[in-house]
Amino acid sequence: MQEAHPPSRVASRLAPFGTTIFAEMTRLAAEHKAINLSQGFPDFDGPGFIKDAAVKAIRERHNQYAKPTGEPDLVEALAAWWGQETGRDLDPYAEITVTSGCTEALAASFLGLIEPGDEVILFEPFYDSYRACCALAGAKPRFVALRPPGPDAGPTAQFRFDEAELRAAFSPRTKAILINTPHNPTGKVFSRKELDLIASLCVEHDAIAITDEVYEHLVFEPDKAHIRIATLPGMAERTVTLSSLGKTFSLTGWKIGWAIAPPHLTAGVRSAHQFLTFAVATPLQHAAAEAIRNGADSIADLVAQLAGSRAFLADTLRDAGLRVYWPAGGYFIMADHSALGIGDDVEFCRYLTEEVKVAAIPPSSFYSRAELGRSLVRFAFCKKLSTLEEAARRLGALGSASRTGAAAR
Ligand X SMILES: Cc1ncc(COP(=O)(O)O)c(C=O)c1O
Cβ distance 289 to 113 under 8 Å? Answer: no
CB nearer ligand X, residue 255 or residue 286: 255
Least CB distance from residue 154 to ligand X, whole Å?
25
CB of 380 to ligand X, least distance (A): 9
Taking the least distance from each CB to ligand X, the nearer of 212 and 345 is 212
Residues 1-60 that bind ligand X (CB under 6 A): 40
- The angle formed by the CA atoms of residues 386, 387 and 393, to the nearest 5 degrees, is 90
Q: How many other C-beta atoms can be found within 10 angstroms of the C-beta atom of residue 13? A: 13
Taking the complex as a whole, the smallest distance from the CB of residue 159 to ligand X amounts, in Å, to: 14
Identity of the residue, 106 or 340, whose beta carbon is nearer to ligand X in the bound complex: 106
In the set 36, 97, 103, 109, which binds ligand X (CB under 6 A)?
103
> How far apart, in whole angstroms, are the C-alpha atoms of residue 359 and residue 71?
39
> Residue 78 in contact with residue 84, Cβ under 8 Å?
no
Nearer to ligand X, 126 or 348 (CB): 126
Stretch binding ligand X (CB under 6 A), from 98-106, 155-163, 296-304, 375-383? 98-106
What is the DSSP code (8-state) at residue 284? H
Q: Which residues in the 304-343 window bind ligand X by CB under 6 A?
A: none
Minimum gap (Å) between residue 281 Cβ and ligand X:
13
Q: In angstroms, what is the minimal distance from the CB of 212 to ligand X?
A: 5
Residue 88 exposed, middle or buried by CB count within 10 Å (0-12, 13-18, 19+): exposed
Which lies closer to ligand X via its Cβ, residue 127 or residue 351? 127
The values of phi and psi at residue 374, to 5°, are: -65, -30
- Beta-carbon contacts of 242 under 8 Å, excluding residues fewer than 6 positions away, are 102, 105, 106, 109, 210, 211, 212, 213, 214, 257, 258, 259, 260
CB of 86 to ligand X, least distance (A): 20
Decide: is 101 part of the binding site for ligand X (CB under 6 A): yes
Of 244 and 387, the one with the shorter C-beta distance to ligand X is 244
d(CA 37, CA 26): 9
Instruction: Kindly state whether residue 102 participates in binding ligand X, applying the rule CB under 6 A.
Output: yes
Question: What are the C-alpha distances in Å from 324 to residues 8, 221, 315, 318?
Answer: 40, 16, 9, 6
Instruction: Decide whether 246 or 295 has the Cβ nearer to ligand X.
Output: 246
- Using CB under 6 A as the binding criterion, the count of chain residues that bind ligand X stands at 14
Smallest separation, CB 355 to ligand X (Å): 27
DSSP letter for each residue of 287-337: HHHHHHHH-HHHHHHHHHHHHHHHHHHHHHHHHTTPEEE--SBSSEEEEE-
Encoded one letter per residue, x for contact with ligand X by CB under 6 A and - for no contact, window 242-281 reads --x-x-----x--x-x------------------------
- Which residue in 26, 69, 180, 309 binds ligand X (CB under 6 A)? 180
Shortest distance (Å) from residue 84 CB to ligand X: 22
| Distances, alpha carbon 49 to alpha carbons 8, 54, 259, 391, in Å | 45, 9, 25, 31
Query: Within a 13 Å sphere around the CA of 4, how many CA atoms are in the beta-carbon half?
Result: 3
Q: How distant is the alpha carbon of residue 395 from its chain centre?
A: 25
* Cβ proximity to ligand X, 244 vs 402, nearer residue: 244
| Three-state secondary structure call for residue 151 | coil
Q: In this chain, which of 212, 216, 345, 355 binds ligand X, going by CB under 6 A?
A: 212
Q: Least distance from C-beta 58 to ligand X, angstroms?
A: 21
Residue 17: CB minimum distance to ligand X, A: 16
Shortest distance, CB of residue 122 to ligand X, whole angstroms? 12
Choices 96-104, 169-177, 288-296, 361-369 (CB under 6 A): range interacting with ligand X? 96-104
Interface with ligand X, residue 239, by CB under 6 A: no
Contact (Cβ atoms closer than 8 angstroms) between residue 318 and residue 337: no
Subset of 126-145 contacting ligand X (CB under 6 A): 127
Phi, psi of 260, deg, nearest 5: -115, 120
Nearer to ligand X, 252 or 402 (CB): 252
Nearest to residue 382, comparing CAs of 180, 149, 215, 228? 215
3-state class of 231 per DSSP? helix
Binding site residues, ligand X, CB under 6 A = 40, 101-103, 127, 180, 184, 212, 214, 244, 246, 252, 255, 257
